[in-house]
Structure 1
Amino acid sequence: MPSAPPTSSTSSTSSSTPARRRAVAGTTAALALTAFLVVGPAPAALAADPDTHSTSAAALADVDYTTWLKDVAAVVAEARPYVEERAKDAGREKQAIVLDIDNSSLETDFHPFWELPTPAIADVRELVRDAHDKGVAVFFVTARPGIIHSLTDWNLKRAGYPVDGLYVRSLPDLFVEVSTYKTEKRAEIEAKGYTIIANIGNNTTDIVGGHAERAFKLPDYDGKLS
């Protein structure tokens, strides 16, 4: 299992002390809470065979992993020439790309939730990296709750994404429509002087509301993906 986010530890030889065991238990509990908050409780079938994509929540919803990757690649292929052309102006204006996270940047529904970090969607990551190398800032706006901000930030960076900003939902945000919350966050990014050249997400709530030059919707198969 890949390593979890670094936690504080001592160099003492008492690594098996109750304090260390409590720290390990706390990390495990945090990961379990994260999984529940992000993808919900694990289906019974998911635990039967954790080593294959066929056990993912998406597969249980009849979404084929290979087909999904091909469909994602088609959207990225549409976005790439536009992003590359706009990024030529990154030196003359503050530009940004805004992304959703689950099944838009990370393979959330196609990866066992207990194995961290959740891997990046390779085609999306390469598009974002190329734009970032040209001077385009990269912001993530997610409906994930603030309690897992640090873990989400760690996962994105471990998966290879540049992260210039990460917006998660605070308590008040939990009581408004996701689309309204995400639109407000894009407006906040614009208020910082950025032109959002592309907004990428897999759900309609990720991309409605404007405040972006172009929006690119990745597949969610009528809501079968989170």
Structure 2
Amino acid sequence: MRSHRPAHRPRTRYRIRSLGAAAGTAAATAVLVLGPAATAEAAPVAPTATASAPGGNALLLGIDYAAWKRDVAAVMAPARPYVEQRLAQSPAGEKPAIVLDIDNSSLETDFHWFWTVPTPAIAEVRDLTQYADAHGVAVFFVTARPGIIASLTERNLKQVGYPVSGLYVRDLPDLFQEVSAYKAAKRAEIEARGYTIIANIGNNQSDLVGGHAERTFKLPDYNGKLS
């Protein structure tokens, strides 16, 4: 009786290249490159994802996906009624706008492995922007992501259903500013274009401080664990 041994299959190694701004200032974006690579560049084995934690940095940090989703829903619950009421009171000729951060504020960045393309939307936030867009509200994104990935970021947002009136990313001069100052300055730019920012949504204080918004909605970051 002959034994059957499985045929040898060549293994594919992965190299990870990260794109990002200075440490602590922007969410890093990774590009997956298939092909042979040196052993030193081999990707580490990722923990097994579960239904309550799809994967990504949040899983490594022990942040439960289901709990995060509940916390997000609680923050966003009053957002739609507020926008509805605010628009009902909008004076003639006003140009209302909403400003959003991206990572863990519009997209579930830290809850998915970097090879998940496109990064899924946060449903409650996306639904609000779709309602706002349908009622004449401009939707702007102000992110600390570097300008080199601006086109990839905009494509991701549109692929998962976000209306995009404008996207502000950090170019070289912006890297010398504090994130909070950079974001406040971009909101001021939007106001200078004649818009009234009726809501600003983000998950870090740096997304929200500095004024230039009538109301803010802060999503959870668990003491800075989420980017």
Q: TM-score, normalised by structure 2?
A: 0.79
Change over 3 Å in CA distance of 1:51–1:136 after alignment to 2: same
Tell me by how many angstroms 1:151 deviates.
0.2
| Post-superposition offset of 1:114 | 1.2
In structure 1, the gaps of 5 or more residues are 1-27
1:33 matched to 2:18: yes
Report matched runs for 1:1-226 at 5 Å: 32-34=17-19, 38-39=27-28, 44=44, 47-49=46-48, 53=53, 55-88=55-88, 89=90, 92-226=93-227
> 1:121 corresponds to which letter in structure 2?
I
1:35 positional shift: 7.6
| 8 Å CA contact retained: 2:95, 2:196 | yes
Structure 2 gap segments, 5+ residues each: 1-13, 31-41
Identity of aligned residues (%): 63
1:25-50 Cα distance to aligned partner (Å, 9 max, x none): xxx99x943489733779835x3446
Letter in 2 for 1:160: G
Deviations 1:167-200, CA, capped at 9 Å, x for gaps: 0000011111000000000000000000000000
Equivalent position SS for 1:44:
coil
Q: Which has the larger radius of gyration?
A: 2
Kindly indicate which of the two structures has a greater share of residues assigned to strand: 2
Quick check: 2:100–2:202 contact (8 Å CA) kept in 1? Answer: yes
Over the aligned positions, Cα root-mean-square deviation in angstroms equals: 2.5
1:24 maps to which residue? none
- Equivalenced residues, count: 197
Contact 2:18/2:29, CA 8 A, preserved across alignment: no
Deviations 1:93-125 (A, max 9, x none): 100000000000000000111121001000110
Structure 1 length normalisation: TM-score? 0.80
